[in-house]
Amino acid sequence: MNTDIESIRQAVRDFKIENAAQLEEFRLQFVSRKGKIAALFTGLGKFAAEERAAVGKVLNELKNEAQQRFDQAKLNLESSIHTQRSATDDITLQAPPRPVGSLHPLTLTLEEIKKVFYRLGFSIAEGPEIEDDFHNFTSLNFPPEHPARDMQDTFYIHKDAERIDKDLLLRTHTSPVQIRKMLEQKPPIRSIMPGRVYRNESVTYKSYFLFHQVEALYVDKNVNFAELKETLVMLAEMVFNRKVEYRLRPSFFPFTEPSLEMDIWWEQPGKPGKWLEILGAGMVHPNVLKSVDIDPEVYSGFALGMGVERMTSLRYGIDDIRIYYENDIRFLEQFQ
């Protein structure tokens, strides 16, 4: 054993360490848990008790010597590399160009919409994408026979290969976040609800099974239709950064009454102008307020919702929403 210890001690002292590869080889041979010195420790059990302490002391000295040699060599190499770089680098030179990524056009539009609502005094509320029937339908005044509950429109969660849980689903709109917000906070409430939503629709140039919505909710005392109209006009003009010609058409949504859709007049060079729908809105239905224990005799409110894909397509002149989800780098690079 003593012969082996002295042989390894001499090897530790004679080993050349002039680069990173040699340093790693030294570590593997002498410092690592599977190295030569560690192997010597496994043989301590062969010695008598009175000899074990003395041999162990010698082995610890060898282990410390090897570790010190490794640490010093590593420090010398790092110092040498730093000195070489300091001598050759010219910090006045322009840095080489680095490839810069870009935000997705949907993200750019969503961030712009958020900024507009911030300026109008709205906060952001978020909720889960897997919802239950109460938050997604019942509390929003959807009757049991409403077609939106049908399998053709809604993705329900399968418990197993045979059973479908009709109470769990992928949310079909971000309106459930409105319900959660009203359940956890008493009026006044002024928030937007951005996020992904899912519907069982065919994939075409104008429809997809996944898309993004931004909804807004304002509930307080004496909220009226005039405030809704003013908010819609300001929102459209701030998003498109220009005066807009608009019209408000009567519509129907189970969770608002009265309900409307907003169109703006859209013109493109070389093409005839036309009316384009950009959002739906209305005054919060009294039944919705009752479902969250808010007294509709005291409070009123309005809600509105828009598709981020639709707004993005209008801003950037894109006529096929499928391209948003294809991850084509040639398309995405245009938004740097």
Report, as an integer, the average pLDDT of 257-261.
96
**What type of residue sits at position 284?**
V
What pTM did the predictor assign? 0.68
Task: Report the domain count for the chain.
Answer: 2
Average pLDDT over residues 98-121: 90
Is 279 within 8 Å of 251 (Cβ atoms)? no
Q: Is residue 95 part of a domain?
A: no
- Picking from 88, 115, 149, the residue at the C-terminal end of a domain is 88
Q: Same structural domain for residues 156 and 299?
A: yes
User: Does residue 164 carry a pLDDT above 70?
Assistant: no
- Overall average pLDDT of the 182-201 stretch: 95
Q: Are residues 41 and 150 in the same domain?
A: no
The answer to the question of residue 99 being in a domain is no
Whether the per-residue pLDDT at 272 is higher than 70: the answer is yes
Which residues contact residue 150 at a Cβ distance below 8 angstroms, ignoring those fewer than 6 apart?
none
Same domain, 150 and 203: yes
Torsion sign (Cα): 301, 115, 306, 148: negative
Angstrom distance (rounded) from CA 318 to CA 331: 11
Cβ neighbours around 194 below 10 Å, total: 20
Is 282 within 8 Å of 224 (Cβ atoms)?
Answer: no
Name the residue range of residue 207's domain: 106-335
- For residues 4 and 328, the model is more confident at 328
